[in-house]
Structure 1
Amino acid sequence: MMCGMNTDTCDPADSAALREIFAAHPDAVEPAGEEAVKVFEAEHGIVLPEPYRTCVVEIADGLRAGPPYYGLLPFARTPRDWGAGRTERLLAEPFPLTRAWLWEQDDDEELSDEEFEERVGPVYDHGSLLLGTDGCGMYWHLIVTGSERGHVWLIDENGAIPFGDRPGTTPLMPGTPGFAGWAARWAARGRSWFEDD
């Protein structure tokens, strides 16, 4: 397993592990290169977190087939089924969550559709890149701004859940947090996201 997460500098162990993972996938998309990433970052007022940034610059900018089920998206794309009725994605706005939020388990009073969208909309649209979808409205997000920068979250119609172990909590999706840990988890074929090692 890969060691602790550093979102500013790519750990050589993470880079080596990602190179090995993507080398096993002949459908990997060519890396985007430094210039394309810098232009995207400048347009959106962000810096992609490591080791994801190194991956898309030097190793691979996605997978045509899964994982996720419908493939790992190139860094500047969204799934075809994304966006119907959604507001503009604001990558520079901080991602609003720090812990799992299952909408139906929320103790707040009953919210109107408009109030619910006002609270939930930023979870979908602020501070994250879409990594891909497993279908049925299940989207993997890489958080690019805010206190969760570098973490991967699964966000769907039921709620938002962070991937990986967290101090003092029992994780809903155990594993090494961050993009490299998430990639290592899906590279170990046949393992459920929700089961312990």
Structure 2
Amino acid sequence: MMTGMNTETCAPADSAALHEVIASRPEAVPPLGWGAVRAFEAEHGVVLPEPYRTFVAEICDGLRAGPPFYGLLPLAQTPSDWGSGRPERLLSEPFPLTEAWPWEAEESEAELSEEEYQQCEDRRSPVFDHGSLLLGTDGCGMYWHLIVTGPERGHVWLIDENGAIPFGTRPGTSLMPGTPGFAGWVTHWAQGRSWFGEEDG
């Protein structure tokens, strides 16, 4: 797990970087304002991590052009392909992971009984639905989540049918290298860089 990321106050550098990205994009959705953000937090029993919290309150509440590919969702919305039969999303329940989990690879290496497969499904459900906001989708069931509760609070994760991967450089791994956190993720996209590209220099 990465440490040292400030999720309690919006760093001026993060705010400036986010303003710069949004300023050139007329398709930005207007910000919500602090009253709406605090009401959302009270309803769901969470405090949104910075700089995302300031972003939706003061800068913008969604961006139709991305990131990700199909646009940055307004606060608490789900993508059109998310589906209606999913479990309730519980933002106040801690996100259960602290490192990548390639469940598709794990399951393909073993022949699972029906009971073992169901146990895997039960373990996966909280990864999708606990402690995170949906930021948007790159299509094909690839969803970006901002973690709002638990040890990974403030980090952005890519979660799809194959597994869950954190965005940002971490000790011992570089599955998705870059500057961790919401501002790093947005800036990475604005620079036109691949999510799985070269590590930040």
Residues 1:182 and 2:173 aligned together = no
Displacement, 1:119? 0.7
Q: TM-score, normalised by structure 2?
A: 0.91
CA distance in 2, matches of 1:141, 1:195: 20
The offset of 1:181, in angstroms, is: 0.3
Question: What CA distance in whole angstroms lies between the structure 1 residues aligned with 2:195 and 2:45?
Answer: 32
State the shift of 1:20 in Å: 0.4
Letter in 2 for 1:133: T
What is the match of residue 14 of structure 2? 14
Residue 160 (structure 1) aligns with? 164
Q: Distance in 2 between matches of 1:10 and 1:126?
A: 24
The separation in 1 between residues aligned to 2:10 and 2:113, in whole angstroms, is 42
Deviations 1:21-48 (A, max 9, x none): 1112110000011011111100100000
Is the aligned partner of 1:123 residue 2:127? yes
Task: Please give the residue correspondences for 1:8-47 in structure 2 after superposition, counting only pairs within 5 Å.
Answer: 8-47=8-47
CA–CA distance in structure 1, aligned partners of residues 65 and 191 of structure 2: 16
Listed one character per residue, the Cα deviations across residues 31-67 of structure 1 (whole Å, up to 9, x for unaligned) are: 0110111111001000000000000000011111222
**Which residue of 186, 193, 196 maps to 2:195?**
193
- Tell me if 1:84 matches 2:88: no
Instruction: List alignment gaps of at least 5 residues for structure 2.
Output: none
Q: Is the 8 A contact 2:100 2:165 kept in 1?
A: yes
How far the C-alpha of 1:5 sits from its partner, in A, is 2.3
Deviation at 1:195, TM superposition (A): 1.1
- Does structure 1 retain, via aligned residues, the 8 Å contact 2:104–2:161? no
Q: Distance in 1 between matches of 2:188 and 2:113?
A: 36
Deviates more, 1:174-183 or 1:67-76: 67-76
Task: Count residues in correspondence.
Answer: 192
> d(CA) in 1 for partners of 2:96 and 2:111?
20
- The alpha-carbon deviation at position 82 of structure 1 amounts to 1.1
Which stretch shows the higher mean deviation, 109-118 or 69-78? 109-118
Q: Tell me the distance in 2 between the aligned counterparts of 1:86 and 1:67.
A: 24
| Identity within the alignment, % | 71
RMSD of aligned Cα (Å)? 1.4
The question of 1:146 aligning with 2:150 is answered yes
Residue type of the alignment partner of 2:154: G
SS for the counterpart of 1:65 is: coil
Q: One-letter code of the match for 2:28? A: A
**CA distance, structure 1, for counterparts of residue 145 and residue 111 of structure 2:** 28
Amino acid across the alignment from 2:152: E
